Amino acid sequence: MSRICAITGKRPVSGRKIIHKGQSKKSGGIGLQLVKQNNRTFRPNLQHIRVRLENGQVKKMWVSVKAIKAGKVVKA
């Protein structure tokens, strides 16, 4: 099962981690150089919580913490 927020639709996104080396110009170097870029996945902060639906049912769902803090979800 993929980790997707049931309320906001947040899902994992692919991106890169950029690695620099060198000494900054401020401290006397020639600046930071790009060494390499590693592929990685940015995962949303999801929690598996019990949610009360509009019809009164209680169901477990994957919900992002941002949606919980915003009050878009009624916890059961």
Residue with structure tokens 């994992």? 12
| Residue 52 to residue 63: CA distance in whole angstroms | 12
When mean pLDDT is compared across 1-5, 21-25, 52-56, the lowest value belongs to 1-5
Q: Provide the pLDDT for residue 2.
A: 79
Q: Per the structure block, which two tokens stand in for 54?
A: 């509009």
- pLDDT over 80 (residue 16): yes
Mean pLDDT of 18-25: 94
Letter for the amino acid at 51? V
Please determine, looking at this structure, whether the domain spanning 13-70 carries the CATH number 2.30.170. Answer: yes
Domain locations in the chain? Answer: 13-70
